[in-house]
Chains A and B, each alone.
Chain A
Amino acid sequence: MAENFEQHSDISAADLARLTQEAQAEATPSTAKIIWSEFKADKPAMAALIIIVGFILFVMIGALFINTPKMMETNIMGYFNQPFTADFWLGADSAGRSVAKQLIVGSRNSIGIAIGLTVISSTFGICWGLISGYFNGYIDWGMQRIYDFMMMLPMTMMIIVLVTIIPHYNSVTLTFIFSIFYWEGTSRLIRSRTLAESEKDYVAASKASGTSHWKIIFREIMPNISSLIIVDCTLSFAENIGVETGLSYLGFGLPSQTPSLGTMIANANDPNNITQYWWTWLPAALEIIILCLSISYVGQVLRRAADSSQRQGSVN
């Protein structure tokens, strides 16, 4: 059969290298290049990217050099020490513990939970939505009833109950507990787009070309809803920082001996702290604001890169 094609086309194996080279010269730039040029075109987003990456690297590495149990020991001499001194760069809290060191370890914990939670819950939610939307019919019906049941459970209450009945928990178990509940929004969003997408002709064409269902779902449909996935992931990452922080603030997040952004913001529970000892809670609050803003800037750039009509970069 190959001869059949040889006969009717004047291209033979000898031309392969030359033609490949020609095609490469005309090739559309790769996704990574497009994303990079988008960042270059948008200065605030570039700054946001540097802030996020730099900060995450800084706290991840910095936390390795801090002896957490020792840091969390009460030090009566440092009681509400003023900030900007040699021993306490950002001051100390009511137990005389360094705010700067707590901020580093606490950020590592909170960001770690947020990343873990986003990865687990988004992966699960995306798979659930894609499969449910693609197969339709009875599979969709069953999966959506499970979804409805999960939606019906009061999320915060359930997490608080789970946290109280599990005897020893740390940031890893907490991430898994959160993940049970945070895939739902993503899955509905992805399902609705998959329903529309799987009716399109290119899916029919893939079926007619003998491609398997799983390949169609993850290699054909998923790339086509990638802009939605990216936006959803960045937004839920920003939101997930808030999830842990909020619960820790209420006292149901991480144990009190584990510092986190939430436990630090919880310092603001005390009116004295709010008015006089602002350094106990303000750095953590500012950090969350800056991180969430930066993440949404980066998310916007990724979304623009995924949609060719919105691009601002010079590579098209």
Chain B
Amino acid sequence: MSLIEIKDLKVHYPIRSGFWNRITDSVRAVDGVSFNIEAGETYGLVGESGSGKSTTGKSVVGLEKVTSGSIMYKGLDITKAENRRKLDYNHDVQMIFQDSLSSLNPRKRIEDIIAEPLRNFEHLSKDDEKLRVLQLLNIVGLDADALYKYPHQFSGGQRQRIGVARAVATNPKLIIADEPVSALDLSVQAQVLNFMKKIQREFGISYLFISHDLGVVRHMCNNIAIMNRGRLVEIGTRDDIYNHPLHIYTKRLLAAIPETDVNSREAHRASRLAVEQVYQDQQSKYYDDNGAAYPLVQVTPTHAVALPQTIAQQLASQEGEVQA
């Protein structure tokens, strides 16, 4: 059984308008998303901004009110607040935020920030609690001096590591990492990611890794879901997504990864333009009449794509020929 099973998750925001301020329409931020996260794996959720990936992440932690669908954890649907309370859900599922500065309360000392989940869930004695905070700081590579300082006294990378320490504090089973490194520069990104990987190895934590940076996702994730306009357009292993992309949206994302090979700059440019051309010409083939993605169809046991069955088969066989 999977750690978390997300079924047909929908988060819609009402749009009010008119004289009576009635609900006239809704923004379909997340519109029928289903996937499973296995224990101990890193699941990548990728998409452009506004595709609903952060909303999906927040729903999984329980910060977002879900319109319909279910998120099953230990056999209970945690979209209901009472089930979350019953399971002490946030003891097991924590979150790392994108903006390290605004996610740490500027008026609290680091000790209080990291100890917050411990105080709510574990009720340790004062000394044990302090010891745990010191150990956590040590694990993310910070000195004991940090204990009584305030968040603004740290650099971005250090703050994000404090955020990681807080998320790990209760030894959770799953951590939602909502673009944890996209606000950091590249050298610091690598540092934070390596700490996250080290923690995963040592504590056996699963990550739901939300990102728009396919390079980072490739480094971190075993299974990847591509999200577009509130729906999943492609699910697969790292190999499926990076080497056999089927959906045009996935191809566009991959084409957008910058290449450092200066000698074949022209060739890369041409291939990017070719992908864009296909997208412009064949949009109607890849999206339905309302501009939404099709339901997912299975191509191989690990690989699914949001296309009508016939087109999916056709593309898959084409892909096979190219490989051959």
Tell me which residues across on chain B come within 8 A of A209, comparing CB atoms: 90, 94, 116-117, 120, 166
Given contacts A7-B202, A226-B107, 8 further A-B contacts (CB under 8 A): A6-B135, A8-B135, A8-B203, A9-B134, A16-B134, A23-B145, A201-B98, A205-B105
**Residues 115-146 (chain B) with a chain A CB within 8 angstroms:** 116-117, 120-121, 127-128, 130-132, 134-136, 138-139, 144-146
Tell me which residues across on chain A come within 8 A of B95, comparing CB atoms: 204-205, 208
Name A residues whose Cβ lies closer than 8 Å to a Cβ of B: 1-2, 4-13, 15-16, 19-20, 22-28, 200-202, 204-211, 220, 223-224, 226, 308
Question: In the complex, are the beta carbons of B150 and A28 less than 8 A apart?
Answer: yes
Question: In the complex, are the beta carbons of A28 and B120 less than 8 A apart?
Answer: no
Residue on B with the closest CB to A20? B130
**Residues 33-73 (chain B) with a chain A CB within 8 angstroms:** 58, 61-63
Residue on A with the closest CB to B144? A19
The 8 lowest CB-CB distance pairs between A and B, nearest first, are: A27-B148, A23-B147, A201-B103, A26-B145, A9-B135, A210-B120, A19-B144, A209-B117
Q: Quick one: which of B99, B130, B144, B202 has the most chain A CB within 10 A?
A: B144
* Cβ-based interface call for B319 (8 A): no
B60 to chain A, nearest CB (A): 11
A sample of 5 cross-chain residue pairs with beta-carbon separation below 8 angstroms, ordered by A number, consists of A5-B132, A9-B134, A16-B130, A208-B61, A210-B117
Q: Given A19-B134, A208-B94, does the pair A8, B202 have CB atoms closer than 8 Å?
A: yes
Q: Quick one: which of B130, B138, B146 has the most chain A CB within 10 A?
A: B138
Tell me which residues across on chain A come within 8 A of B62, comparing CB atoms: 207-208
* Cβ-based interface call for B171 (8 A): yes
Tell me which residues across on chain A come within 8 A of B128, comparing CB atoms: 2
Tell me which residues across on chain B come within 8 A of A200, comparing CB atoms: 102
Question: In the complex, are the beta carbons of A4 and B120 less than 8 A apart?
Answer: no
**Cα distance A200–B63 when bound, in Å?**
13
Question: In the complex, are the beta carbons of B105 and A202 less than 8 A apart?
Answer: yes
Question: In the complex, are the beta carbons of B171 and A1 less than 8 A apart?
Answer: yes
A45 to chain B, nearest CB (A): 23
B273 to chain A, nearest CB (A): 39
Q: Given A5-B132, A28-B153, A201-B97, does the pair A208, B148 have CB atoms closer than 8 Å?
A: no
Q: Given A11-B135, A24-B148, does the pair A201, B102 have CB atoms closer than 8 Å?
A: yes
Q: Is chain A's interface secondary structure helix, strand, loop, or mixed overall? A: helix
Q: Given A5-B136, A28-B153, does the pair A201, B99 have CB atoms closer than 8 Å?
A: yes
**Residues 71-124 (chain B) with a chain A CB within 8 angstroms:** 88, 90-91, 94-95, 97-99, 102-109, 116-117, 120-121
Among A24, A26, A205, A223, contact of B97 (Cβ-Cβ < 8 Å): A205
Name B residues whose Cβ lies closer than 8 Å to a Cβ of A: 58, 61-63, 88, 90-91, 94-95, 97-99, 102-109, 116-117, 120-121, 127-128, 130-132, 134-136, 138-139, 144-150, 152-153, 163, 166, 171, 202-203
Residue on A with the closest CB to B61? A208
Tell me which residues across on chain B come within 8 A of A8, comparing CB atoms: 135, 139, 202-203
Q: Is chain B's interface secondary structure helix, strand, loop, or mixed overall? A: helix
**Cα distance A236–B88 when bound, in Å?**
44
B320 to chain A, nearest CB (A): 44
Question: In the complex, are the beta carbons of A210 and B121 less than 8 A apart?
Answer: yes
Residue on A with the closest CB to B64? A204
Residue on B with the closest CB to A27? B148
A16 to chain B, nearest CB (A): 5
A304 to chain B, nearest CB (A): 16
**Cα distance A220–B103 when bound, in Å?**
12
Question: In the complex, are the beta carbons of A208 and B91 less than 8 A apart?
Answer: no
**Cα distance A10–B91 when bound, in Å?**
24
Question: In the complex, are the beta carbons of A202 and B202 less than 8 A apart?
Answer: no
B127 to chain A, nearest CB (A): 6
Residue on A with the closest CB to B201? A8
**Cα distance A20–B144 when bound, in Å?**
7
**Cα distance A261–B141 when bound, in Å?**
62
Q: Given A5-B132, A202-B103, does the pair A11, B149 have CB atoms closer than 8 Å?
A: no
A246 to chain B, nearest CB (A): 37
Q: Given A23-B144, A23-B148, A210-B88, does the pair A204, B171 have CB atoms closer than 8 Å?
A: no
A217 to chain B, nearest CB (A): 13
Question: In the complex, are the beta carbons of A202 and B145 less than 8 A apart?
Answer: no
Question: In the complex, are the beta carbons of A9 and B139 less than 8 A apart?
Answer: yes
**Cα distance A15–B131 when bound, in Å?**
9
Residue on B with the closest CB to A12? B131
**Cα distance A176–B91 when bound, in Å?**
46
Residue on A with the closest CB to B147? A23
